[in-house]
Amino acid sequence: MNPTAVLHAGFGVSVLIGILVSDTALRIGAFALGAVLFVAGIAVSRRDEGEDGADAA
């Protein structure tokens, strides 16, 4: 499984946990972790695209 898929799957799990948990601090933490994982997945995806483009040039 590629790193982008793993990070985005982690985002989904984190958001699901944020929805299911009742404690406010844990909910905010889960949503924040989800946001970080989502952005990290995008960054990894862009980095991989940039490396592929550099090899072709």
User: In this structure, what token pair is assigned to residue 53?
Assistant: 């483009």
More confident residue, 14 or 52: 14
Going by the DSSP 8-state scheme, the letter that residue 35 receives in this structure is: H
pTM of the model: 0.80
Res 8 pLDDT > 60: yes
Res 56 pLDDT > 90: no
Give the pLDDT score at 35: 96
User: In this structure, what token pair is assigned to residue 24?
Assistant: 């406010």
Cα-Cα end-to-end distance for the chain:
27
Q: What are phi and psi of 21, to 5 degrees?
A: -80, 150
Give the pLDDT score at 57: 44
